[in-house]
Chain A
């Protein structure tokens, strides 16, 4: 069979402002056959995927059905885009227009190119919704983007790309920003739909574990050159190039007990550093101790001195809200926060300066957390001056120390945040919190906006800070592997409630809460066929493709739980059990039952009968 898509010695360059050309892709060649999924990896991959304006092509050919695309006139290229070749962007949320219904946006390209009439396109769209296992396919088109979940939106983007039956689909890191559980459901749908449609796909990602699940063929790119290419089994099982090996090492390990690097206990004290008692919080006006939208319910968390507590859960489960309540940014509707045994005012406006100093919040997005009009020296110097009265030359020396502490050059003091890279900004962001000499740092997803290599450096830095300064950390993340490698204790949040908490080695070993089990099983393994194996598992069948329901009564995880007890779990609040000291699991099942189920993975329990995607229950829009 002829090659569908060929790239022959492609070179891509752009011009810097002073006119000097910079070559980003230096002669790359590969082919895609019809029905084949090719994965590209890492640097310059996005450039390959989508030719942005301002780039030019000093050499090489890109042939689609044997015709050179680069030599075409712009209008001919446009006829191909979205029609023969479809592009799937990284962020679905940014791709959909919030003011137009989903159906209209999904069908737009096909109607615009004249390949389908509006009616045909609508029928085709519904077929695709069904193939992508989206809930309520017949009526989904009338909804607006904000009425569906993030994972569903990502799949809808695939529908948008596939509606005009493209020959080639380009997927640019389509699952990178998703929670592990959502990632699985999206991967599964993508794989299925690509097979059914028979279109070829180029899947761009840096995550080899994901690639191993979807691709037939892998092309490893580094600094604009092909390092290695071959069938997926060959690359995964027998990588030759050192860069491929490095990529394989960067794959996050499955979280297990003992993976961590816990702190020594030299800083221990009896009183918990920060404690949250019976706290309920949310947004909107508070009536009778209940906010209009409840995000967190009856939370009890203790953080010991110089401990690292990982807070884990899917997006929207209330992780950030927990940190905001501790910091006083969001006053709790009910319950108390204690610092070193002393009750804190709910609102930070009423807290003393000393209390504010002790709790520092590190924001997720360093881009918005640093004032773009202040020099790094001033950003770091201000807390020094404000809390500790350090001024003048001494202040500059302290700023220099902070910069060294986070491993940044001292000359950065005279730079603006826009002159720093993302990882460097995140370090400044942390250094600012450290400047206050805090007792506790609340880190809200500080690594999730960074790529894997930068993020592992940030984690290393946090470990160093913990060992050197004895600061306690609350480390919020949706990434269980990262948390497991670094935290002393883990708090698992689900739909605003703590379902499990305890020392890291206890949480990551049986007995698990069923939700923790689901999270652990969802971390992709670097193994061909892992996706299929995992989908066979009980917890997946029940837990995937069903949305989070925030409930007032019963266990919040009831509708996704494979071992739920009908009549009990949906009615009563789960009791908290303590299998080992300080390890708490909130579940109606006893620990003996959970252990027994763990040992008999074939046993079919509640959940399998619900496993088929049923439109109404799946993912209610919140």
Chain B
């Protein structure tokens, strides 16, 4: 019956605008970011570069204790040592240098852990939504068990049992946060599974992999990406909590989360601009997460979001 479609040529006047020749292959739709999206890309790129070269260009070593003045205000100098762009912390270390060094741990570890959490959570969540029945039941109950434990306690337990190393830290954070990602992914997956286009794919006889990767995931991607930035902040805070308890990043290594915590007392004890000591690492965290969200928002607006608005 393949000839039936061929015999059909445009025949009436509505066919005027229709090409007889096949047009050139359509250009790949390019993603054009707005200035906010570009700003986000720039900030994220900056921090990723700092992960690579931060320690090389920083004026001091992260562990250097300089002089004997803690909580120096920004742009102050210590004799014989040099300029402290953002002042010093409670142990008289250079905050600017520690932020540059800390990028490696915070951006590296948290980012990796978030990505890992997403890989695990989304795969399991969507699989549960698609397979339903027993698969869903087993995965969901395991997940409930993880969710029911306090995150810090669970993290402590794993880290104490397996020892503190960076791979274990990443793995722990990923497992703990994968459970909340799982919940969201499963909920979106279930919502998409009842759409007619999924049923249509099932009726066509498509495999489960096609349904997961071509029908469900692309539609769940945007809401999940929006959640990504939020989840990243949680993981940064989680790792800094562990560090605070001495089980995360081992001092004197710097990470932004613990820098905020360790310098909080400056708010009470320091004088002048010295009280800003915890603000700088906090700003660093904020800049990174906001930048991620800017990119995500921009992509979601460009790919369908604003088009959908136009159609209404």
Contact = CB atoms under 8 A, between A and B. Distances in A.
B203 A328 contact: yes
21 contacts: A17-B306, A329-B203, A348-B205, A351-B205, A353-B205, A356-B203, A369-B196, A371-B197, A372-B219, A373-B218, A374-B218, A388-B2, A398-B5, A401-B5, A401-B6, A407-B18, A409-B18, A410-B22, A411-B23, A418-B308, A434-B5
Q: Which 8 A-B residue pairs are closest in the complex by CB-CB distance?
A: A414-B26, A373-B218, A369-B196, A405-B8, A371-B197, A469-B4, A363-B196, A368-B196
Nearest to A408: B18
Contacts of A468: 4, 7-8
Contacts of A243: none
B195 A470 contact: no
B304 A410 contact: no
A413 B208 CA distance: 26
A363 B310 contact: no
A374 B210 CA distance: 13
A30 B73 CA distance: 73
A370 interface: yes
Contact of B15 (A369, A383, A404): A404
Interface string A452-477: 00000000000000001110000000
Contact of B17 (A348, A409, A437): A409
A368 B195 contact: yes
A361 interface: yes
A436 B228 CA distance: 39
A556 B112 CA distance: 64
Contact of B200 (A369, A403, A413): A369
Interface string B196-229: 1101101111100000001100110100000000
Contacts of B26: 377, 411, 413-414
Contacts of B148: none
B161 interface: no
B22 A397 contact: yes
Given A410-B19, A413-B26, A373 B200 contact: no
Contact of A409 (B19, B29, B195, B196): B19
B23 A410 contact: yes
Contacts of B29: 414
B307 interface: yes
Interface string A395-427: 011101111110111110110101100000000
A327 to B, nearest CB: 6
A386 interface: yes
Contacts of B205: 348, 351, 353, 356, 386
Central interface residue in B4, B17, B218, by most chain A CB within 10 Å: B4
A400 B24 CA distance: 12
Interface string A263-281: 0000000000000000000
Contacts of B9: 404
Interface string A338-362: 0000000000100101001000010
Nearest to B194: A368
Contacts of A356: 203-205
A416 B26 CA distance: 13
Central interface residue in B8, B19, B22, by most chain A CB within 10 Å: B8
A93 interface: no
B8 A404 contact: yes
A418 B5 contact: no
B14 interface: yes
A365 interface: yes
Given A398-B5, A414-B29, 16 more contacts: A329-B203, A353-B205, A370-B197, A373-B219, A382-B204, A383-B204, A396-B25, A397-B22, A404-B10, A407-B10, A407-B14, A411-B19, A411-B23, A413-B26, A416-B307, A468-B8
B31 interface: no
Contacts of A377: 26
Contact of A470 (B4, B5, B219): B4
Interface of B: 1-2, 4-10, 12, 14-15, 17-19, 22-23, 25-27, 29, 195-197, 199-200, 202-206, 214-215, 218-219, 221, 304, 306-311
Contacts of B202: 348
B190 to A, nearest CB: 15
Interface of A: 17, 327-329, 348, 351, 353, 356, 361, 363, 365, 368-374, 377, 382-383, 386-388, 396-398, 400-405, 407-411, 413-414, 416, 418-419, 432, 434, 436-437, 468-470
Central interface residue in B6, B14, B196, by most chain A CB within 10 Å: B196
A404 B200 CA distance: 23
A365 B196 contact: yes
Given A386-B206, A396-B25, A410-B19, A371 B219 contact: yes
Given A371-B215, A401-B8, A410 B197 contact: no
Contacts of A383: 204
Contacts of A348: 202-203, 205
Given A410-B18, A416-B307, A329 B8 contact: no
Contacts of A328: 203
A373 B308 CA distance: 12
A411 B199 CA distance: 27
Contacts of A387: 204
Contact of A437 (B2, B12, B197, B219): B2
A297 B73 CA distance: 84
Contacts of A469: 1, 4-5
Contacts of A369: 196-197, 200
B304 A372 contact: yes
A17 B196 contact: no
B307 A418 contact: yes
B15 A327 contact: no
A402 B7 CA distance: 11
A568 to B, nearest CB: 42
Contact of B18 (A327, A371, A404, A470): A404
Contacts of A370: 197
Contacts of B2: 388, 437
Nearest to B4: A469
A353 B206 CA distance: 10
Nearest to B215: A371
A374 B213 CA distance: 12
A470 B4 CA distance: 9
A408 B10 CA distance: 9
Nearest to B29: A414
B307 A419 contact: yes
Contacts of B4: 437, 468-470
Nearest to B311: A418
A365 B200 CA distance: 12
B172 to A, nearest CB: 34
